[in-house]
Structure 1
Amino acid sequence: MVFKKKEKKVPKGFNSVNEFFDYLYKKEDLIWMGQNTNHLQKVEAIEDALIEASHKRDYCKYPPPEGFPELKQLILEDLGLDENIFDVQITASATESLYLAISTSLYHITNTIASDPGYLIINNFCNRFGNHVKEIPVYNEEHGYKLTPQLIRENIDMETKLIILIDPLNPIGATYTKEEIMEIAEIAKENNIIVLHDITYRDFAREHTLVAQYAPEHTITVYSFSKIFGMAGLRIGAVISTPDLMRPMRASVINDLGTNVLSQEAAIAGLKTKDQWIDEIKQTCFKNQELIKEAVDETPGTFLPVYPSDANMMVIDISQTGLDPVDLAAYLLDEKNIFVREGNYTSKLFGDRYIRVSYSIPTEEIMVFRNEFKDAVETLQKRQNIIPK
């Protein structure tokens, strides 16, 4: 079977998307606001764990196929989930977790409810294994820029099998109240639907509630070490569910000789020390948000749909400036050395309205963006003969 996959647009000046990201990866002085990676993480324990495991040449051995038991236990403790109810599979990134969950939950006549904006890679997976994805428009103040229980109830049908709940939501940063999560859990139980709860950005939120606490038999939780732990390049994540839901996922694991041992050792060190450093990272991110808001408030035609964001990224709506987000992103990269992401990466319907900016980077780099943003908008407007509204 050949799966359909939306082709990524090749940025101007590059021969392929891979060439573009290789350019970004090697550009050491780049202000990295275009991918939601965490550049504030400087925990010596994580680095020490990597170095020690490397010196011991642990990479010569295969790890346990489900992941180190210590790591599995630490993840459950981090989430406050009962080890007698939930099981954990360590994966080579949250993306692998998403693939396992979706490929074993859907079949050709079932459909999925997801949001637009959202993380379109998830929707690609759902379209591979299910009948179709209902991409519900949520880019509006009425619904708080998120997939509300009301919207879910209005859009489920007899063939709905999966609800994609990205929480906090990439790219907007909206999250859910406890009451909303409880209602979504009830919807899942009433309709025998699985909630795929992607909590990649959970640790940046002011408050966060797990669907698994209220509908364990109907929830698959996807966990990432890429964001708050600053381990994006180590490619490690996890999927958490009840044994009944885990069984088909584990049977579908391709990487059945285990996940990178160095990554797992680093993850253990990160979890053991998390309470020592997480508050500082969150405080820096909220301070960085304030600086971005200052820049936006000074720039006519732009606004923040959600502020403050409960993720490590936010959306800046530029629709009233007359500019194309692709052009603004290209200008900031080419002329200001600032990498941001145009909206079409996360939305089919609203991608022409906004750019996404990540701010889990040093504050001095955010200050560069804060000082350049208004000028970038005005310069492009002059170049394109756009009269501000």
Structure 2
Amino acid sequence: MTQTLSGPELRNQYFDQLSRDDQLIWMGQNTNHIPAHPAVTAAMKASIDRGEYNAYAPPLGFESLRAAIVKDLGVEGSALVTEGGVNALGTLVRAKMRPGQTFVTTDPTWKWPGMFATQMGAEVVELPIFGPATQYKLTADALRASVDDRTQLIYLVDPNNPLGTTYSETEIGDFIGIAKSVGALLVHDCTYRDFAENHVPAMRLDPVNAVCSTSFSKWLGLAGMRIGALVGAPDLIAECAGFSSSILGAGVVAQRGAEAGLSVKAEWMQTVLSVNRRNQEMIRDTVAGIPGLEILVWPSQANFLCIGTEATGITPEAIVEAFRLEGVMIRQGKYHTARFGDSFIKVSTTVPEAWSRRFCDLLPDMLVRARSLTDVPALF
């Protein structure tokens, strides 16, 4: 008897197949594949050599790392170290969201925090920002019209994933004021802030009515190590600690790598930003020569590009599958948004230059191949 696989099983098998391909070009998850800074690998290897992984870490994270994270953000507050940025956001949502409340976010956005809010019985309000009319950004007027005394959390991933837009200090200040006016908390997801020009974490403007989440997956390349943090007012972090699934501490080896990364961040980011920009320019120039494709946001303030595909008449899913068959993983728009997902693909750019060159060389042929695909499997 043939067993029908559940959605979670299919999703797991999809990513397991990708993970087993040691030649795969990963350009779909915004991960960083630039060879690591020697100080980071040395710190993790030293931790393993000392056998530190035999014991649990402190429940809020090593004090030295907590202090370094807060200092790096340039804010006043406290840090809760978690197993990845998604865990930080999940912890906050579990602590704050209840039935009858609203969780306000953008569309497109990073989808998992909204899913967590739904699991808590809250209503998710998605404000459309896709299109040049709003410059692919949330406006204060749109936000103000969509919040009330039921609103508990306003979630802003900035720079936006998948669009690559960012917000000015004035815009962030406006959002904080709107959140404060209804007794809500502005959740500023700063995962991609190190790729943006003049990024201002919301907590610098208001350490009480804003909270920040951070990640070491993208700028430092520790996605598989699962390390991130929630940074907020001490009382808020104490409240969230009771809802943390990292109650026995985040990974010891990952924390040592994260702290080493912060110690060399200024030097490291010069390399990362240089590679990222060269790759983005290469892809921009290639896209410009292909009818029907366009870069939706330039310059991107993140480590990826959002490529409009609607004018080609080809589904993003077919393009993604055509690339997958050639050993290149990119992302379809519907991963981020059901409403606008038919219009774009997303391509990561913190990768070796040869990977970006491979993507560019394949792109014209992949559009031709995608037109002929009649059986595109489920994508995740």
TM tier, smaller: over 0.9
Which residue pairs with 2:286 in the alignment?
A: 295
Change beyond 3 A, Cα 1:200–1:368 = same
CA distance in 1, matches of 2:222, 2:248: 21
**TM-score, length basis structure 1:** 0.92
Which residue pairs with 1:315 in the alignment?
A: 306
CA distance in 1, matches of 2:85, 2:349: 21
1:157 Cα deviation after fit: 2.1
1:27 Cα deviation after fit: 1.0
Q: Does 1:349 align with 2:324?
A: no
2:34 to 40, 63, 69: 40
Change beyond 3 A, Cα 1:192–1:41 = farther
1:176 Cα deviation after fit: 0.5
Q: Does 1:360 align with 2:350?
A: yes
1:99 Cα deviation after fit: 0.7
CA distance in 2, matches of 1:126, 1:223: 19
Conserved 8 A contact 2:149-2:183: no
CA distance in 2, matches of 1:351, 1:9: 20
SS, match of residue 252 in structure 1: coil
Which residue pairs with 2:19 in the alignment?
A: 25
Q: Does 1:183 align with 2:177?
A: no
2:318 to 327, 334, 349: 327
Give deviations 1:158-185, integer Å, cap 9, x for gaps: 2111111000111111110111111112
1:9 Cα deviation after fit: 6.5
Change beyond 3 A, Cα 1:383–1:273 = closer
Which residue pairs with 1:158 in the alignment?
A: 149
Which residue pairs with 1:387 in the alignment?
A: none
CA distance in 1, matches of 2:7, 2:294: 26
1:380 to 339, 346, 370: 370
SS, match of residue 216 in structure 1: coil
Change beyond 3 A, Cα 1:19–1:186 = same
Which residue pairs with 1:3 in the alignment?
A: none
Number of aligned residue pairs: 370
Matched residue type, 1:106: M
Conserved 8 A contact 2:318-2:373: no
Conserved 8 A contact 2:108-2:336: yes
Which residue pairs with 2:232 in the alignment?
A: 241
Matched residue type, 2:136: Y
- Superposed, 1:219-298 pairs within 5 Å as 219-298=210-289
SS, match of residue 167 in structure 2: coil
Which residue pairs with 2:58 in the alignment?
A: 64
CA distance in 1, matches of 2:6, 2:271: 36
CA distance in 1, matches of 2:290, 2:277: 20
Change beyond 3 A, Cα 1:381–1:63 = closer
CA distance in 2, matches of 1:361, 1:328: 20
Where structure 1 has 5 or more consecutive residues not aligned to the other structure, the ranges are: 1-6, 385-389
SS, match of residue 28 in structure 2: coil
Which residue pairs with 2:377 in the alignment?
A: none
1:378 Cα deviation after fit: 3.2
1:216 Cα deviation after fit: 1.4
1:195 to 186, 199, 213: 186
Matched residue type, 2:262: L
Matched residue type, 2:20: K
SS, match of residue 162 in structure 2: coil
Which residue pairs with 1:78 in the alignment?
A: 72
CA distance in 2, matches of 1:314, 1:126: 28
Conserved 8 A contact 2:322-2:369: no
SS, match of residue 112 in structure 1: strand
- Superposed, 1:82-231 pairs within 5 Å as 82=76, 86-231=77-222
Give deviations 1:305-327, integer Å, cap 9, x for gaps: 10111111121110111111111
Q: Work out the percentage of aligned pairs sharing the same amino acid.
A: 32
Where structure 2 has 5 or more consecutive residues not aligned to the other structure, the ranges are: 375-380
